[in-house]
């Protein structure tokens, strides 16, 4: 799922972007569980997840992933999530 921009470039949908990052650290079943739980708690779905809602969802995802990501990889995941929600300078 991608979105077209006026410049002609394509941007990955917020759900796909989050899922892709999480798959680097977690198994697919855990990624789906963490995302589904976080989205359900906010009344969201993959289809309704916007960039602004994704940014609100990130703290919920950070809580869920702490249980499943190896401790030495947590800082890397936190930085990747911070990058996509704009909490870190590029």
Taking 50 as the pLDDT cut, the residues of the chain under it are: 1-9
Please list, in sequence order, all residues whose beta carbon lies within 8 angstroms of the beta carbon of residue 7, skipping any fewer than 6 positions away. Answer: none
pLDDT for residue 40: 92
Tokens of 42: 């906010």
Give residue 4's pLDDT.
46
Place of tokens 């963490």: 34
Bridge partner residues of 4 (DSSP)? 10
Residue 3 pLDDT: 47
What is the per-residue pLDDT for 58?
79
């Amino acid at each position: 799922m991608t979105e077209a921009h006026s410049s002609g470039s394509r941007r990955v949908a917020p759900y796909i972007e989050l899922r892709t990052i999480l798959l680097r650290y977690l198994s697919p079943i855990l990624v789906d569980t963490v995302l589904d739980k976080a989205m359900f708690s906010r009344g969201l779905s993959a289809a309704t997840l916007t960039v602004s809602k994704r940014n609100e969802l990130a703290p919920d995802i950070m809580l869920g992933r702490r249980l499943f990501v190896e401790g030495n990889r947590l800082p890397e995941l936190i930085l990747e999530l911070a990058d996509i929600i704009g909490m870190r300078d590029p």
